Every structure is written in structure tokens, then in C-alpha cells.
């Protein structure tokens, strides 16, 4: 009789159990930050648990905008000079498709239900709606001059577009694909941010060194001074503060949403552009175009906790953190 | 040197297009150059921070005129070919030895130019590192095709030329015994 016959399955079982345990240790799956590097035609994929670049993906020419879907396990990347959208499989970190767009796509956003991808053509003043199942363009909407930042309401019903050279936000009803109203904001709005409850929208007014904070229901608007040439913004997990990147001050302004003023200024790398927050680990990721890296800010203490080397001219314009559904904040 | 002047001269012919203050191209361009100079950081910084005297170290510039407009400081650079560049000082920080400025008007084939120069101690005593970074856009602001002379390459060539000859001139000025 071979005594090992009984022991081997036991060992296997123990190993399996151990492996399963280690996968779940910390209770979270990795979140990834997709950082577009416009200068070297790559996307740096950062594992936000370890603050490390785990993959560098060669893309088409000059990647800029990012949208992600945990549901579809996809990241979508705009190529303003390459005239199209690359689709990355977030489980393999490889490009699986390219959607040709005749124009100069910059801004990009997905409906929260991941059914429609919206892409803004910077020069032809239009928004394209792309079906994420078929990759076909299902609609085109004429908007204002130089459409840039895009955000979509949590109920999938409204798309907001920053029309940079029209100094306005256009509100589009997604069901009818028509513009319902135009909201005047400060000079040259580029990035937009929407609070998690969907009631507040922030427009980043580049040429006016300010943000416009707008109550969607009442349209009451407050202007708050930021640093020099702000670019993008992101609401903190509790919607009580807003982080704004100041491209020409190499800093991030922390705006208190209730007090309507900047309560802290954080020094980051050179020419910070895109910003997104990983709510599971209370970290804001800031893409520094000038210094080719990402500053990571603790969103509770407002301190820079680390800097991660990425590629040439990091931009990451859009919501670029892919967070598995199980990591949602309580 | 000749190449820069030729490019600057060429750019004057396309200058009307640059008067449009609205949209710029979608892809900001960057030139990032560094040099090590055998001189004390304080000496190099003194040359760089002297906003009204760029002709002292840049070989393409014959004259610098400093002007105050309210709180703001501007300089008008006159180039060897007669062209001019107007720049606004954004700040000069003695602690960080860093100066920031931007072009407010010029005939260069580019738009929305801003820049910084930063001085740091070199690896060896008596040595200084200088980094010069410019951010700007090409002149052409619409969907492709992009006309010759208004593309990324033209804009990059001009700034690369200005930076290369400038850093070379800065080195000569700082390393001279004066």
C-alpha cells in the first residue's frame, strides 16, 4: 500500500486553498490606470495596488483620450492624429480593434451601462455615438466649436460636452440624441467632471484660470479661481472636494465644494493634465505631460505619496481608472 | 544658426494665420533640452533671470526691450533678421532658480508657446545644469491635410534651433571670464 496515495490529494487541496486565499487577500482585485503617452505612442498600464506600470501597450499615433468599462473589460483610447479609437482588452492588455474616425477625436466617454461610446471631434464640431457591441457609429450630433471634455449622467440619460471655443457646455439627451440646452461657462472650458450623485458639474475654464461649478437642476453657477491654465478635474469619493490640474503651475488645486474655494494646492510634476481617482484606495492619479510621469495623491491627506514613470507626454484625458465592480466604495 | 534665421524668415510669410487667437492644434509639442556648463550656478542663473538682457547670451537676438504694463513684465526680442518676439514674464524664483515666460506675439510658425528654464547644481563643483523646456502647438488648426510650413515638424525645427543655439550661447557667456 502506498501511503502517498492518500496524502497527495490532501497536499493538492491545501495548495489550492492557499492559492485561492492569496487571490482574495486584501479583498480587492487590481484596479488599473490607463495612461496615454502622446509622444511615444503608448499606453502605460498602472496596477494601482502596487503603484507600478505592469504593461506598456504600443498603440496607434498620438493617443490622448481614455474611457474604460469594467463590465466589458475594455479601455478605449482616442488618437487625435491617428484618426481613430483603439480598443484594449483589459484582461490581456492588448489592442483588439481599431475604429476609424474621420476627424480628430480627443474627448471620449462611455455611458455608465457601457452601451454607447461618445467621441468628440475637436475640429469638425461634432460628437459621434458608437455602439459598443457592433463598433458602428449610430449617430452624429453637431455641437459647438472645439468639443473637448465629455461626461455622462449616472442614469445614462444625459451627455455633457465642453465646447471649448464656444465657452459653453451643451447638454444632450441621449435617447433623442438632441441638444436640450447650452450652459454658458467661463472662457475655454476643456475638462469636465460630474459628481457621483450627478447633481454637480464642474467645467474647467482654461483661459480664465477658473472652474465653473454648476448645479444641474437649478443651473446656479459659481466660479472659483484655480491655478494658471487649469485643464481637468475629478470629484473626490465623497463629492465634498474637487481636484483640478493646473497645467502651467505644475500643481493640483483642491476645491472645497461647499465653501467654494481652493483649500490646498499640491505640487505635482510638470504640466499636469488628466486626473482620475481610484476610490478603492483613495488615490488620485495625475498625468504629467511635461515630466513624463504620474503623481499619486492621497485623496484624504492631500499629500503626494509617489511618482510613477510613464511614457513621453502623458495626457490621460478622461476617466482612466478601471475599477472592478467589487471594489466600489461602501 | 543660418537655418534658424531662414526658418524665422519663412515664418514671417505665414504670420497672418497666427493672428487667430482661437483654437490651437490638438497635440501640444515639447522641446526639452539640457546642458552642463562649467560655471557656478549663481553666475548662470544671473544671466538667465535677467529678463531684459537675453541678447547677452542668445546669438540670434540683437536687442531686448523690457516693458512694464501694470503688474506684468514684457520683453520684446529683436532677431538678427529684424523679426520680433514679445514675451511675458510669468515669474522668476531665486530659490528654485527657475524662470517661466510665454510668447504673447511673434511671427514664429507656432502658437500658445510657454517655457521654463531651470538651473541646478552640476555633478561636480563649479558645474551647473540648465534645462530649457518649451510647450507649444503647430500653426495649423484644422483637420488634415496639414499644409507645409504649418505642421509639427516646422514648429519643432524652429524651437529646436532656438534652444540649441541659445544653450550654446549661454555656455559661452557663462564660461567666459567676465
Question: Is there a domain that residue A84 lies in?
Answer: yes
Mean pLDDT of chain B: 88
pLDDT the model gives residue A144: 85
Residue A260 belongs to a domain with what CATH number?
A: 2.130.10.10
The residue ranking higher by pLDDT, B152 or A2, is B152
CA distance to partner chain B, nearest, from residue A196 (Å): 29
Burial class, B13, CB count within 10 angstroms (exposed 0-12 / middle 13-18 / buried 19+)? exposed
Touching check for A64 and chain B: CB below 8 Å? yes
pLDDT at A17 over 50: no
Look at chain B and report how many structural domains it folds into. Answer: 1
pLDDT at A11 over 60: no
Look at chain A and report how many structural domains it folds into. Answer: 1
Residues in CB range of A53: below 8 A, 6 or more apart: A44, A45, A46, A47, A308, A309, A310
pLDDT the model gives residue A159: 98
Residues of A in Cβ contact (< 8 Å) with B142? 123
Question: Is there a domain that residue A22 lies in?
Answer: no
The model's confidence at residue A170, banded by pLDDT at 50, 70 and 90, is very high
Residue of B22, B26, B32 lying closest to A80 (CB–CB): B26
pLDDT the model gives residue B23: 60
Cell numbers that stand for A121 in this block: 471631434
The model's confidence at residue B81, banded by pLDDT at 50, 70 and 90, is confident
Could you tell me if residue A125 is left (phi over 0), alpha (psi between -120 and 50 degrees) or otherwise beta? left
Count of Cβ atoms closer than 10 Å to residue A104 Cβ: 24
pLDDT in tens, A249-299: 999 999 999 999 999 999 999 999 999 999 999 999 999 999 999 999 999
pLDDT at A27 over 80: no
pLDDT at A55 over 90: yes
DSSP per-residue letters across B92-143: EETTTTEEEEEEEEESSSEEEEEEEEEEEE-SSTT-EEEEEEEEEEES--SS
pLDDT the model gives residue A72: 97
* Residue found under cell 453657477: A221
Mark yes or no for CB contact B141/A313 under 8 Å.
no
pLDDT the model gives residue A143: 94
Cell numbers that stand for B109 in this block: 510658425
**Can you tell me the mean pLDDT for A19-30?**
49
Question: Is there a domain that residue A123 lies in?
Answer: yes
Touching check for A231 and chain B: CB below 8 Å? no
pLDDT at A308 over 80: yes
**Can you tell me the mean pLDDT for A125-152?**
95
Mark yes or no for CB contact A289/B28 under 8 Å.
yes
Count of Cβ atoms closer than 10 Å to residue A39 Cβ: 18
**Can you tell me the mean pLDDT for B133-156?**
90
Mark yes or no for CB contact B26/A104 under 8 Å.
yes
DSSP per-residue letters across B51-70: TT-GGGT-TTEEEEEEEEET
The model's confidence at residue A18, banded by pLDDT at 50, 70 and 90, is very low
Residues of A in Cβ contact (< 8 Å) with B93? none
Burial class, A275, CB count within 10 angstroms (exposed 0-12 / middle 13-18 / buried 19+)? buried
CA distance to partner chain B, nearest, from residue A122 (Å): 7
Mark yes or no for CB contact B133/A62 under 8 Å.
no
Coil, strand, or helix at residue A328? coil
Strand B72-79 and strand B61-69: the pairing is: antiparallel
- Domain containing residue A181: 31-327
Question: What's the distance, Cα to Cα, between the start and end of chain B in Å?
Answer: 24
Mark yes or no for CB contact A106/B26 under 8 Å.
yes
Helix residue ranges, H only, chain A: 4-24
Question: Is there a domain that residue B156 lies in?
Answer: yes
Coil, strand, or helix at residue A61? coil
Question: Is there a domain that residue A25 lies in?
Answer: no
Mark yes or no for CB contact B100/A81 under 8 Å.
no
DSSP letter assigned to residue B83: -
Q: How many CB pairs under 8 A join A and B?
A: 45
Touching check for A228 and chain B: CB below 8 Å? yes
Interface mutation vs chain B, best among A78, A248, A251, A288, most B CBs within 10 Å:
A248
Mark yes or no for CB contact A146/B135 under 8 Å.
no
Question: Is there a domain that residue A17 lies in?
Answer: no
**Can you tell me the mean pLDDT for A35-51?**
96
**Can you tell me the mean pLDDT for A308-329?**
88
**Can you tell me the mean pLDDT for B99-127?**
96
**Can you tell me the mean pLDDT for B25-36?**
91
Mean pLDDT of chain A: 91
Question: Is there a domain that residue A16 lies in?
Answer: no
pLDDT at A190 over 90: yes
- Domain containing residue B124: 2-16+24-49+91-175
Residues in CB range of A137: below 8 A, 6 or more apart: A128, A129, A130, A131
pLDDT the model gives residue B143: 74
| ipTM of model | 0.80
**Can you tell me the mean pLDDT for B8-13?**
46
Preceding peptide of A61 cis, ω within 30°: no
Phi, psi angles (nearest 5°) of residue B19: -75, -20
pLDDT the model gives residue A15: 40
Question: Is there a domain that residue B62 lies in?
Answer: no
Mark yes or no for CB contact B23/A270 under 8 Å.
no
**Can you tell me the mean pLDDT for A179-200?**
96
Mark yes or no for CB contact A80/B100 under 8 Å.
no
Touching check for A60 and chain B: CB below 8 Å? no
Q: Do the Cβ atoms of B29 and B136 come closer than 8 Å? A: yes
Question: Is there a domain that residue A9 lies in?
Answer: no
Dihedral, A43, A47, A52, A55 alpha carbons, nearest 10: -40
Mark yes or no for CB contact B114/A248 under 8 Å.
yes
**Can you tell me the mean pLDDT for A77-99?**
95
Residues in CB range of A66: below 8 A, 6 or more apart: A34, A35, A36, A75, A76, A77, A78, A108, A274, A316, A317, A318, A319, A320
pLDDT at A155 over 90: yes
Residue B33 belongs to a domain with what CATH number?
A: 3.30.530.20
Question: Is there a domain that residue B54 lies in?
Answer: no
DSSP per-residue letters across A63-119: EEEEEEETTTTEEEEEETTTTEEEEEETTTTEEEEEEE-SS-EEEEEE-TTSSEEEE
Burial class, A181, CB count within 10 angstroms (exposed 0-12 / middle 13-18 / buried 19+)? exposed
Amino acid at each position: 500500500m502506498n501511503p502517498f496515495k492518500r496524502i497527495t490529494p490532501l497536499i493538492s487541496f491545501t495548495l489550492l486553498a492557499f492559492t485561492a486565499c492569496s487571490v482574495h487577500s486584501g479583498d480587492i482585485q487590481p484596479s488599473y490606470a490607463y495612461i496615454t503617452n502622446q509622444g511615444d505612442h503608448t499606453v502605460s498600464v498602472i496596477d494601482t495596488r502596487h503603484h507600478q506600470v505592469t504593461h506598456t501597450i504600443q498603440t496607434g499615433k498620438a493617443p490622448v483620450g481614455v474611457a474604460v468599462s469594467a463590465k466589458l473589460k475594455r479601455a478605449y483610447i482616442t488618437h487625435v492624429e491617428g484618426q481613430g479609437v483603439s480598443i484594449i482588452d483589459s484582461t490581456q492588455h492588448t489592442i483588439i480593434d481599431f475604429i476609424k474616425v474621420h476627424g480628430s477625436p480627443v474627448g471620449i466617454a462611455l455611458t455608465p451601462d457601457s452601451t454607447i461610446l461618445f467621441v468628440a471631434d475637436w475640429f469638425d464640431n461634432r460628437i459621434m455615438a458608437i455602439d459598443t457591441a457592433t463598433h458602428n457609429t449610430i449617430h452624429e450630433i453637431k455641437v459647438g466649436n472645439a468639443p473637448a471634455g465629455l461626461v455622462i449622467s449616472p442614469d445614462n440619460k444625459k451627455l455633457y460636452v465642453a465646447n471649448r471655443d464656444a465657452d459653453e457646455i451643451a447638454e444632450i439627451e441621449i435617447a433623442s440624441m438632441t441638444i436640450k440646452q447650452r450652459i454658458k461657462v467661463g472662457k475655454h472650458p476643456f475638462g469636465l467632471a460630474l459628481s457621483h450623485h450627478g447633481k454637480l458639474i464642474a467645467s474647467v475654464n482654461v483661459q480664465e484660470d477658473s472652474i465653473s461649478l454648476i448645479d444641474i437642476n437649478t443651473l446656479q453657477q459659481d466660479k472659483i479661481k484655480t491655478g494658471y491654465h487649469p485643464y481637468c478635474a475629478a470629484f473626490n469619493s465623497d463629492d465634498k472636494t474637487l481636484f483640478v490640474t493646473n497645467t502651467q503651475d505644475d500643481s493640483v488645486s483642491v476645491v472645497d465644494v461647499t465653501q467654494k474655494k481652493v483649500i490646498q494646492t499640491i505640487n505635482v510634476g510638470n504640466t499636469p493634465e488628466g486626473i482620475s481617482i481610484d476610490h478603492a484606495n483613495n488615490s488620485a492619479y495625475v498625468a504629467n505631460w511635461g515630466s513624463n510621469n504620474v503623481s499619486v495623491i492621497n485623496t484624504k491627506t492631500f499629500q503626494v505619496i509617489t511618482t510613477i514613470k510613464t511614457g513621453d507626454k502623458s495626457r490621460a484625458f478622461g476617466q482612466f481608472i478601471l475599477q472592478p465592480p467589487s471594489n466600489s466604495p461602501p | 544658426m543660418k537655418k534658424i534665421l531662414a526658418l524665422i524668415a519663412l515664418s514671417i510669410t505665414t504670420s497672418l494665420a497666427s493672428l487667430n487667437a482661437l483654437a490651437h492644434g490638438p497635440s501640444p509639442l515639447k522641446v526639452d533640452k539640457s546642458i552642463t556648463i562649467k560655471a557656478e550656478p549663481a553666475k548662470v542663473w544671473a544671466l538667465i533671470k535677467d529678463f531684459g538682457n537675453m541678447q547677452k547670451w542668445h546669438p540670434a537676438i540683437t536687442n531686448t526691450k523690457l516693458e512694464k504694463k501694470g503688474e506684468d513684465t514684457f520683453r520684446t526680442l529683436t532677431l538678427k533678421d529684424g523679426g520680433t518676439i514679445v514675451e511675458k514674464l510669468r515669474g522668476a524664483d531665486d530659490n528654485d532658480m527657475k524662470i517661466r515666460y510665454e510668447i504673447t506675439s511673434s511671427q514664429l510658425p507656432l502658437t500658445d508657446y510657454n517655457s521654463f528654464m531651470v538651473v541646478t547644481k552640476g555633478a561636480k563643483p563649479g558645474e551647473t545644469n540648465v534645462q530649457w523646456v518649451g510647450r507649444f502647438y503647430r500653426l495649423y488648426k484644422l483637420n488634415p491635410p496639414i499644409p507645409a510650413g504649418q505642421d509639427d515638424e516646422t514648429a519643432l525645427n524652429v524651437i529646436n534651433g532656438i534652444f540649441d543655439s541659445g544653450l550654446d550661447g549661454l555656455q559661452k557667456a557663462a564660461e567666459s571670464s567676465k
